[in-house]
Amino acid sequence: MGTIKFFLMHLSSSSEKIFVAGHRGLVGSGVVRALKQVGFSNIVTRSRSELDLLNQASVNAFFEREQPEFVVLAAAKVGGILANDTYPADFLAQNLSIQSNVIEAAFRAGVKRLVFLGSTCIYPKLAQQPLKEEYLLTGPLEPTNEWYAIAKIAGVKLCESLRKQYGVDFISLMPTNMYGPGDNFDLNSSHVLPAMMRKFHAAKGTSNSVELWGTGTPKREFLYVDDLSSAVIHVLKTEEGPLHAAAPGGLMNVGVGQDLAISELAKAVKRAVGSTNEIVYDATKPDGTPRKLVDVSRLFSLGWKPEVSLEDGLSRTYEWYLKNVDNLDE
């Protein structure tokens, strides 16, 4: 790749140029919204038709032309258990391409700091709870989403290797299960929470039961998108010394530090929607990882904490869903 000189700097001015890759997705749109709310104005975004992140030459040309100072890499091919199982090659190959194209182009362009957003599915299926960053690559992955996880692990390791070899300020944040306005509510490709919300909404006012996958016993942690966005900005603005002391390898989890059973989540979503429908579990469908709670001590040590409760987050998400439900399948 060649030797490039970097000046490690944190985000300190509202005029500095920030490229948010994947700005139309749940996470990327939340980051753009949060940046604007705190006064950052020089935000660069591109739609898929304007910039194909799968095309290395196009990505390189974009970085050479725009010269962003900071990058938030939120672009990814995402989906739930069904989507991962149906399109394993797409999940692996497309995410590998997106990540390597953006990360390597950012490296060549001399970006001051890059934040790569992954997922806590990178950790072994049966790892000790709560999940600490050092548990990465210590055991087999959860088979239902291993293709996506392997791609994200490669992204983490690419950032880590560039930090080690060239001293660049590339950070990997691994958020727990995300939800919020702008989520994917397609039942064929969505994650558990938005799928639940859509099912309860569809059944509302009828005598139909709501069928959910699995047994309802697995435990999960849920992070509202605005809290992740505030974590991203917090990391972008944190000075190099404290940031590197907290995460020497550049890897940090993002979560709330509490989990709940899927059955309890279902009841919470049911309340948020105002449904009275009976819940039925299809135990022939996979549960996925038995439990997934992340250790957030590294990020908490830097002074960040989540602010949105699950009840409040579900209410906000359902409010957004009601306003956009007619356009979700277009």
**Residue 200 falls inside a structural domain:** no
**Residue 73 falls inside a structural domain:** yes
pLDDT band with cut points at 50, 70 and 90 for residue 9:
low
**Residue 280 falls inside a structural domain:** no
Which CATH number is 238's domain given?
A: 3.40.50.720
In the set 87, 123, 135, 148, the catalytic residue is 148
**Residue 216 falls inside a structural domain:** no
Q: What is the pLDDT of residues 281-329, one digit of tens each?
A: 999 998 877 888 999 999 999 999 999 999 999 999 999 999 999 887 6
**Residue 113 falls inside a structural domain:** yes
Q: What is the number of domains present in the chain?
A: 1
**Residue 41 falls inside a structural domain:** yes
Q: Is 166 a catalytic residue?
A: no
**Residue 271 falls inside a structural domain:** no
**Residue 89 falls inside a structural domain:** yes
**Helical segments of 26-87, H only:** 26-37, 56-66, 81-86
pLDDT at 5: 42
Q: pTM higher than 0.95 for the full model?
A: no
40 contact partners, CB below 8 Å, separation of at least 6: 14, 16, 18
For residue 81, pLDDT over 80 is answered with no
* Domain around 50: 18-183+221-258+291-308
Kindly give the pairing relationship between strand 260-261 and strand 219-220.
antiparallel
pLDDT band with cut points at 50, 70 and 90 for residue 7:
very low
pLDDT at 19: 98
With tokens 């940046």, the residue in question is 35
